[in-house]
């Protein structure tokens, strides 16, 4: 924050952005404008320059998308006085969803995404794996005390603090259901025209049923009986309110037969599980259990990538010959770290076939491949290949056993 005149924090509603702003505002003694409050939003819309511009100290603006005109005021203020630490803004939609002609603060604000809590934050065992792999190239020999059911409990719980605070699984699922209806039907309706009431929630459920899959927009449209253009626009809306994410296909210098279509992932598996009406027990034995576990791991890795101060590419790999790798992390120098996700309680060398294919194609560019599983032990699977408990993502110290 000390290096930038403006910071823009984006993320799904309920991920903790407002709490973050209030705590920093209390510590810094800055002015906080909560545009989620209708009365405040009306006043700021009437006089954005007077209420936002010219304020001394750090200015906090929550849910800026409610009055997007404030961005033009921030732009003028930053252009006039580019001192670091002028504005901290938060919004529950991507800036790409704002009306055409709205100021984007390109080149004037540093954007951050605040997702729901990671598993390490939930468990209080936040020793992230990816920074260690980037530093050493080798995973620690983690031993985990979590059972397979424990992992599915984490998957079904998700990372929204308000849901996690509910005393029972049933209460948590009610919160998730209400949340989806609120964001998909109410919040989006205030920003864009949604011609098919309920379609966004239905579309989200359809994506959740196919999470971690390569799904074409035309297939989604056909499944839901929507016009293809409408289905594409609604899918983009769900991406822009951070309910689903697209993991691009990785193609750089590997094979001319590589598939380029993105995989779709729910960004919070608790919300996704509630949408398809599966609790942890049913999810663990269902046909989509492995897919949800993959999305869970993708989300955990994405949260770690977001706080690492270097450019990293996060993608999936699929070769038309049949070789697949769930997650590829590429550094700016071209070196690659790759991950496979298995919901089984052990991993064998055959489970690393996609990693082995990528290792053999990339040669020295391939640093480490890890098969993440729900069992207790870390073991070698061959040259630069490892099997590791999923808990190693957040408890990456020797002989860890998070409770």
pLDDT in tens, 272-298: 999 999 999 999 999 999 999 999 999
Helix (H) / strand (E) element for 369: namely strand 366-373
CB neighbourhood size of 23 (10 A): 11
Helix (H) / strand (E) element for 208: namely helix 199-209
**Burial classification of residue 135, based on how many CB atoms lie within 10 Å of its CB (0-12 exposed, 13-18 middle, 19 or more buried):** exposed
Instruction: Give yes or no for residue 403 having a pLDDT over 50.
Output: no
For the chain, what is the total number of helices (H) and then of strands (E)? 16, 13
pLDDT in tens, 168-183: 999 999 999 999 988 8
pLDDT of residue 229: 83
Helix (H) / strand (E) element for 80: namely helix 70-80
Task: List, in order, residues 6 or more apart from 338 with CB less than 8 Å away.
Answer: 317, 325, 327, 328, 329, 354, 355, 358, 359, 366, 368, 369, 370
Strand (E) positions, 158-281? 244-247, 263-266
pLDDT in tens, 246-271: 999 998 666 555 667 899 999 999 99
Choice between 193 and 387, residue whose per-residue pLDDT is larger = 387
Helix (H) / strand (E) element for 379: namely strand 379-382
Cα distances (angstroms) measured from residue 198 to each of 75, 165, 180, 209, 338: 36, 27, 10, 17, 38
Distance in angstroms (rounded) separating the CA atoms of residues 50 and 47? 5
Task: List, in order, residues 6 or more apart from 343 with CB less than 8 Å away.
Answer: 148, 151, 284, 289, 290, 293, 373, 374
Choice between 97 and 316, residue whose per-residue pLDDT is larger = 316
Choice between 206 and 397, residue whose per-residue pLDDT is larger = 206
CATH class of segment(s) 6-113: alpha beta
pLDDT in tens, 216-228: 778 888 887 877 8
pLDDT of residue 400: 42
pLDDT of residue 313: 93
Domains in the chain: boundaries: 6-113, 119-393
Cα distances (angstroms) measured from residue 315 to each of 242, 246, 292, 301, 318: 17, 9, 17, 11, 10
If pLDDT is split at 50, 70 and 90, which confidence band does 337 have?
A: very high
Instruction: Give yes or no for residue 68 having a pLDDT over 80.
Output: yes
Average pLDDT over residues 65-91: 88
pLDDT of residue 327: 97
pLDDT of residue 84: 86
Phi and psi at 255, nearest 5°, equal -155, 140
Distance in angstroms (rounded) separating the CA atoms of residues 220 and 227? 10
Cα distances (angstroms) measured from residue 58 to each of 104, 123, 141, 222, 380: 20, 33, 45, 49, 51
Round the average pLDDT of the chain to a whole number and report it.
88
Of 166, 145, 147, whose CA–CA distance to 157 is shortest?
166
Q: Does the global pTM surpass 0.75?
A: yes
Taking a C-beta distance cutoff of 8 angstroms, is the pair 338, 329 a contact? yes
Q: Parallel, antiparallel, or unpaired: how do β-strands 110-113 and 6-10 relate?
A: parallel
If pLDDT is split at 50, 70 and 90, which confidence band does 398 have?
A: very low
User: Which range has the worst mean pLDDT, 39-53, 150-164, 215-229, 316-330?
Assistant: 215-229
Q: What share of the chain is helix, strand, coil (3-state, %, to 5)?
A: 45, 20, 40
């Amino acid at each position: 924050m000390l290096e930038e005149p403006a910071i823009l924090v984006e993320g799904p509603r309920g991920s903790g952005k407002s709490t973050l702003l209030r705590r920093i505002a209390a510590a810094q003694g800055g002015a906080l404008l909560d545009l989620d409050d209708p009365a405040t939003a009306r006043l700021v819309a009437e006089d954005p320059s007077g209420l936002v511009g010219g304020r001394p100290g750090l200015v906090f603006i929550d849910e800026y998308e409610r009055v997007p005109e404030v961005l033009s005021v921030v732009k003028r203020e930053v252009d006039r006085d580019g001192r670091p630490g002028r504005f901290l803004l938060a919004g529950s939609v991507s800036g790409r969803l704002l009306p055409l002609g709205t100021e984007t603060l390109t080149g004037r604000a540093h954007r951050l995404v605040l997702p729901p809590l990671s598993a390490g934050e939930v468990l209080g065992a936040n020793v992230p794996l990816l920074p260690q792999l980037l530093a050493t190239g080798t995973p620690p020999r983690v031993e985990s005390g979590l059972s397979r059911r424990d992992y599915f409990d984490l998957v079904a719980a998700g990372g929204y603090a308000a849901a996690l605070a509910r005393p029972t699984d049933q209460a948590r699922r009610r919160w998730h259901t209400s949340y989806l209806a609120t964001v998909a039907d109410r919040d989006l309706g205030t920003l864009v025209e949604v011609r098919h009431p309920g379609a966004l929630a239905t579309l989200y459920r359809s994506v959740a049923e196919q999470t971690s899959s390569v799904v074409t927009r035309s297939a989604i449209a056909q499944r839901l009986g929507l016009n293809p253009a409408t289905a594409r626009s609604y899918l983009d809306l769900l991406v822009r309110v951070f309910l689903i994410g697209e993991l691009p296909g990785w193609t750089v210098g590997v094979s001319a037969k590589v598939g380029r279509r993105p995989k779709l992932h729910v960004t919070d598996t608790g919300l996704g599980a509630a949408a398809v009406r599966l609790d942890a027990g049913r999810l663990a034995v269902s046909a989509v259990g492995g897919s949800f576990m993959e999305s869970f791991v993708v989300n955990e890795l994405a949260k770690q990538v977001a706080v690492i101060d270097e450019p990293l590419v996060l993608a999936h790999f699929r070769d038309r010959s049949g070789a697949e790798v769930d997650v590829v992390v590429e550094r700016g120098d071209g070196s690659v770290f790759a991950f496979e996700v298995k919901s089984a309680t052990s991993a064998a060398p055959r489970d690393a076939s996609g990693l082995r294919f990528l290792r053999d194609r990339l040669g020295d560019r391939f640093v480490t491949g890890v098969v993440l599983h729900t069992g207790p032990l870390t073991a070698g699977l061959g040259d630069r290949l490892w099997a590791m408990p999923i808990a190693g993502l957040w408890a990456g110290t020797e002989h860890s056993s998070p409770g």
